[in-house]
Amino acid sequence: MDTVTGSELTGLVDLAHRRGVRHIAIGSGRTPEALAFVDQFTSRWERTGGEVTETITWPEEAASWLHQATRFMGAGADLWVMTGPALGWAQMTRRLLWSTTWRPEHALVTAAVSTPEALRMIGLHNLDGLTGVNSQGVTWTIHDGRQVWPPHPTRHARHRRARRGRP
């Protein structure tokens, strides 16, 4: 797992504010990078008027992740923010889906778990509504079993010019 970028952190905080939430629970793996993200996000979120109701960590390997999933859901949050590493995140997310009322549309995830490989560990069809931010701060959403990205601005501008008959 790479260290979170400033663009990624800003993108996640902005997304949470646009959703109008105040209370957030943060979940992460136990690597130094994941724990650093938790500290950075918590600091930024609280400086902008939000409240972190709970921070939960989970191992990469466990018997079931039920204890962590139950604590995560019991945090009284409006939104859940999650990061990797990918394997532990996938296991935790499966447990949340199978054993709690957690829904992906109420979660934001970091670039560490935004890769196609990480998302396939759970199955895109199980993650409808999940939203994430890549390391450049670009937002994506899972919709109808696909990871949907915004149109690329350069490609979009080229397409508009070509339709008008300009190079």
Q: State which fold the 6-163 domain adopts.
A: Rossmann fold (3.40.50)
* Confidence band, pLDDT 50/70/90 cuts, at residue 151: confident
Measured CA to CA, the distance from residue 84 to residue 115 in angstroms comes to: 11
Could you list the beta-strand ranges (E) of 34-167: 51-57, 79-82, 107-109, 131-133, 139-143, 146-148
* Confidence band, pLDDT 50/70/90 cuts, at residue 161: very low
Classify residue 116 by burial, with Cβ atoms within 10 Å: 0-12, 13-18, 19+. exposed
Q: What is the pLDDT of residues 20-37, one digit of tens each?
A: 999 999 999 999 999 999
Q: What is the pLDDT of residues 59-117, one digit of tens each?
A: 998 888 899 999 999 999 999 999 999 999 999 999 999 999 999 999 999 999 999 99
Listed by start position, the domains of the chain span 6-163
Burial track 25-47 (b if 16+ CB lie within 10 A, e otherwise):
bbbbbebebbeebbebbbebbee
Contact by Cβ (8 Å): 87, 58: no
Contact by Cβ (8 Å): 55, 25: yes
Q: What is the pTM of this model?
A: 0.88
Q: Which helix (H) or strand (E) holds 26?
A: strand 23-28
Measured CA to CA, the distance from residue 31 to residue 56 in angstroms comes to: 13
